[in-house]
Amino acid sequence: MGNFDKRFYLVTTDGSKRYAAVMNGAYQIGKERDEVHASLAAFARAVILQGKGGRFSSANGVSKSILAYRPTARSVTGYWLDPDVAKEAGVPSEGVLQK
């Protein structure tokens, strides 16, 4: 099993969930660690509001990738974020992309 946070996930086109990956105790934007966030709320804001690609993992840890939540995302259709974290981040707890 991989190290991930079940409080934030993206939904892929096949309906599977990809959870926010935790690497060295932090959440990472970009393959080359363009940004590193200690807070899940800050990471969620970067992914949801700014459309940045964050590191996500399947629950079994097999599928790991960088995914973005933005209208041009080919493999992402929506997200779910824990309501308390969503409140801290200033975003809705759920979202669906209109394609």
**Model-wide pTM > 0.75:** yes
Task: List the chain domain ranges.
Answer: 4-96
- Residue 33's pLDDT band, with cuts at 50, 70 and 90, is confident
d(CA 74, CA 99) in angstroms, rounded, equals 9
Q: Residue 48 corresponds to which tokens in the numbers above?
A: 């949801």
CA distance 86 to 81: 6
> Residue 2 has what pLDDT?
58
CB 83 within 8 A of CB 61: no
pLDDT at 99 over 70: no
Beta bridge partners of 81: 8
